[in-house]
C-alpha cells in the first residue's frame, strides 16, 4: 500500500499533471469572465440595437458591476492558485541538492579579464590561451 501511495504522489506532483490542473482551473475561471462579458455587455448591446430592449442607467451599472465581479473572482482564483503552486514547489524542493552550474567563463592568465571558457584567444589582450590539462 505504501508503494501505491508513493507512485500516486510521484504521478500527481509531476510537472505535466500540475500544469494541466492549473490550466483547467484557470480556464474555468476565465470562462466566467467571457460569460460575464457576453451576458452583461454584448447581449444587451445587441438587444438595444435591434430594439428588443431598452436599458436605463441602473441596468448598465448592474451589468458593469457583474463584469467587474467576474474579473475580481478571476484575479482572486489566480492568486490563490499561484500561492498554492508556490507552496507545492517549495515542498517538492525540500531535500533536493542544488547542482552547481558548470562554469561558462574563465580568467585570462595574461590580462586577468573574464573570457568564454572555450576561447582559444583572449578578446581583450589577443593572447593565445594555454591548453587546459585534460583530466583522465
Q: Enumerate residues 6+ apart whose C-beta is below 8 A from 32.
A: 70, 73, 74
Q: 40, exposed or middle or buried, with CB in 10 Å at 0-12, 13-18, 19+?
A: buried
Is residue 113 within 8 A of residue 125, CB to CB? The reply is: yes
How many CA atoms does the CB half-sphere of 62 hold within 13 Å?
Answer: 7
CA distance 136 to 16: 40
Instruction: Report the C-alpha gap between 68 and 88 in whole angstroms.
Output: 30
Q: pLDDT tens for the chain, 136 residues: list them.
A: 888 888 887 777 777 778 888 899 999 999 999 999 999 989 988 888 888 887 887 888 899 999 999 999 999 999 999 999 898 888 777 767 777 888 889 999 999 999 988 888 999 898 898 876 444 3
Query: Which pLDDT score, from 0 to 100, does residue 134 have?
Result: 43
pLDDT at res. 102: 86
In the chain, which ranges are continuous DSSP H helix? Answer: 2-12, 15-37, 43-49, 57-93
What's the DSSP call for residue 105? E
The pLDDT assigned to 35 comes to 95
Amino acid at each position: 500500500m505504501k508503494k501505491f501511495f508513493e507512485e500516486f504522489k510521484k504521478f500527481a506532483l509531476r510537472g505535466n499533471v500540475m500544469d494541466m490542473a492549473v490550466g483547467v482551473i484557470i480556464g474555468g475561471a476565465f470562462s466566467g469572465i467571457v460569460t460575464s462579458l457576453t451576458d452583461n455587455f454584448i447581449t444587451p448591446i445587441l438587444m438595444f440595437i435591434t430594439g428588443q430592449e431598452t436599458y436605463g442607467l441602473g441596468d448598465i451599472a448592474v451589468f458593469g458591476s457583474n463584469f467587474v465581479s467576474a474579473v475580481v473572482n478571476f484575479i482572486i482564483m489566480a492568486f490563490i492558485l499561484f500561492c498554492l503552486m508556490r507552496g507545492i514547489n517549495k515542498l517538492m524542493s525540500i531535500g533536493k541538492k542544488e547542482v552547481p552550474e558548470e562554469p561558462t567563463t574563465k580568467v585570462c592568465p595574461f590580462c586577468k579579464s573574464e573570457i568564454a571558457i572555450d576561447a582559444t584567444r583572449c578578446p581583450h589582450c589577443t593572447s593565445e590561451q594555454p591548453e587546459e590539462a585534460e583530466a583522465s
